[in-house]
Amino acid sequence: MKPLYVAVVGATGLMGRELLKLLERRQFPLTSLQLLASDRSAGKQLFFNHQEIEVKELTSASLSRLNLVFFAAGTEASRRFSSTAVKNGAVVIDQSATYRMEPWVPLVVPEVNLEDLKHHKRIIASPSAATIQMVMALAPLHRVNPIRRAVVATYQSVSGAGAAAMEELTNQAKQVLEGKGVIPHVFTHQTAFNILPEIDVFLYNGYTMEEWRIKEEAAKLMHSPDLAISASCVRVPVYIGDSQAIHVEFTNPINPEEARRLLAQAPGVKVEDDPEVSLYPQPWAVAGTDEVHVGRVRQDVALPNGLTMWVVADNLRRGAINAIQIAEALLQNGWL
């Protein structure tokens, strides 16, 4: 096998650390691993495979002699440095929003549209966590019975906003429990014991960027440019694990039993659905698991040929697995 020089950009962030954990656990066959981050984090030591690795500052020079670079930092880092990595010969798997909607960049969830990978031009985009879990639950149904429209309301954990957001939830929860006032920093308003219908910036049409992304990314992933998806994306005081209430209209009738059967066979999906014993996915239980968990599948009483379900996944874990599965597919196809 050829040697495989890999770098992770944003290695010290929540997404980066999750990626390292899973590269290790899945025994990703790398020859060497570079950890890159902003100058603030440079000099930190992280463990990988029982070995300490020093985090280096992300610069153009740091991106040479690499075969594969995971970008797990924000859009800023991807925009500034991904083309350098590509010019220097690497393939980039980008977890930021930078390239997702670029027509020439494949946006891939391996369980859903692995075939799109073959047209890649050395940059492959991985979708937002919210999109990944939604399409993993919808695509297995869409394939046999095309979806006409969907309404999605999300219950997204603070980890999607990074480590500082998780700390803010802890600090604020303590302050509220002690009867103290709270001053928000990471979020616009108090997050502890509160609900905020604001994730990412607002667009001209009243949707947030996060809500719009779900619609656009899902349409691209499922090759259905006209797919009508309306989302309400909402932050809830949960550390890890995003939940979604999804109401779907299909082209033809579909019943809950059939949907459960199709989902149970879908790769990466786990059906947990037994109301009699209050069995349904919950973020507290789902955190730390690999699968997209689906429950509360029922006939929708408002939409024609409608189905409703409750979908929960570990947002960090699912994002990392998605990026690594893209890398594994590149390897299998000899593209690295």
Binding stretches for a second copy (CB under 8 A): 149-151, 153, 155, 169-170, 173-174, 177, 188-190, 193-198, 202, 205-207, 215, 228-230, 232, 234, 236-239, 241, 243, 245, 247, 256, 275-276, 278, 280, 282-285, 295-303, 306, 308, 310, 312
Dig out the tokens for 22 from the structure.
């899973």
Is 88 or 299 the residue whose CB approaches a second copy more closely?
299
Please provide residue 223's backbone torsions phi and psi, each rounded to the nearest 5 degrees: 55, 40
Least separation in angstroms between residue 215's CB and a second copy is: 7
Least separation in angstroms between residue 196's CB and a second copy is: 6
Instruction: Look up tokens 């297995």; give the residue.
Output: 140
CB 75 within 8 A of CB 319: no
Is 116 or 300 the residue whose CB approaches a second copy more closely?
300
Least separation in angstroms between residue 288's CB and a second copy is: 14
Tell me which residue of 281, 279, 278 sits closest to 292, measured CA to CA. Answer: 281
Least separation in angstroms between residue 161's CB and a second copy is: 14
Is 250 or 310 the residue whose CB approaches a second copy more closely?
310
Is 10 or 306 the residue whose CB approaches a second copy more closely?
306
71 vs 90: CA distance, rounded Å:
12
Q: 315-332 and 14-25 are packed helices; what angle lies between their axes, rounded to 10 degrees?
A: 50
Burial profile 70-98: b = 16 or more Cβ within 10 angstroms, e = fewer? bbbbbeebbeebbebbbeeebbbbbbbbb
Is 133 or 190 the residue whose CB approaches a second copy more closely?
190
Residue 264 belongs to what H/E stretch? helix 256-265
Residue 298 belongs to what H/E stretch? strand 292-299
Is 110 or 241 the residue whose CB approaches a second copy more closely?
241
Tell me which residue of 19, 50, 76 sits closest to 327, measured CA to CA. Answer: 19
Is 118 or 180 the residue whose CB approaches a second copy more closely?
180
Least separation in angstroms between residue 148's CB and a second copy is: 9
Least separation in angstroms between residue 245's CB and a second copy is: 4
Least separation in angstroms between residue 172's CB and a second copy is: 10
In terms of Cβ atoms closer than 10 Å to its own Cβ (0-12, 13-18, 19+), residue 288 is exposed
Instruction: Look up tokens 């962030």; give the residue.
Output: 13
DSSP, res 272:
-
HSE-up of residue 56 (Cα within 13 Å, Cβ side)? 12
Pairing of strands 68-71, 91-94: parallel
Least separation in angstroms between residue 77's CB and a second copy is: 26
Residue 51 belongs to what H/E stretch? strand 51-57
Is 61 or 195 the residue whose CB approaches a second copy more closely?
195
